[in-house]
């Protein structure tokens, strides 16, 4: 099994009140999420909340798929590094991130089967 290592997607900007799929599994090629960096890119003085979801193919974002709920102060950056990688393995599985209160930027690093 060969892996590519590093950035799994470009920096993705998520608008307040929306949720975006950051990573989607294609062709049953496993994706190992090792870290998620989230930055509060909202206007100065605006705090926001980020939600990270691991959604199986055909599923939807919600309490049953939420893995992290992170409150960010204005212009703060947080790094989420699970003790063991989050594994997305079936075609259509997604890692999605939502934002409330302000715009956030998201960068995901890890490994992907090739």
For residue range 57-105, what is the model confidence (pLDDT) as tens digits? Answer: 999 999 999 999 999 999 999 999 999 999 999 999 999 999 999 999 9
Both structure tokens of 57? 């193919």
| pLDDT reported for residue 51 | 98
Whether residue 10 is predicted with pLDDT greater than 90 in this model: the reply is: yes
- Residue ranges per domain, the chain? 3-113
The angle formed by the CA atoms of residues 81, 5 and 32, to the nearest 5 degrees, is: 50
pLDDT of residue 26: 95
Task: Give this prediction's pTM.
Answer: 0.93
Question: Residues 6 or more apart from 35 whose CB is under 8 A from it?
Answer: 79, 80, 81, 108, 109, 110
Closest to 74 measured CA to CA, from 98, 102, 107: 102
Q: Rounded to an integer, what is the distance from CA 8 to the centroid of its chain? A: 10
For the domain made up of 3-113, the CATH class stated in words is mainly beta
């Amino acid at each position: 099994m060969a892996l590519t290592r590093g950035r799994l997607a470009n920096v993705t900007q998520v608008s307040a009140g929306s949720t975006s799929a950051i990573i989607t599994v294609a062709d049953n090629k496993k994706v190992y999420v090792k870290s998620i960096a989230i930055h509060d890119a909202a206007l100065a003085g605006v705090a926001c909340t980020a939600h990270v979801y691991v959604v199986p193919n055909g599923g939807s974002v919600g309490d049953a798929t939420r893995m992290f709920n992170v409150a960010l102060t204005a212009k703060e950056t947080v790094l989420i590094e699970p003790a063991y990688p989050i594994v997305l393995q079936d075609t259509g599985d997604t890692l999605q991130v939502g934002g409330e209160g302000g715009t956030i930027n998201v960068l995901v690093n890890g490994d992907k089967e090739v």
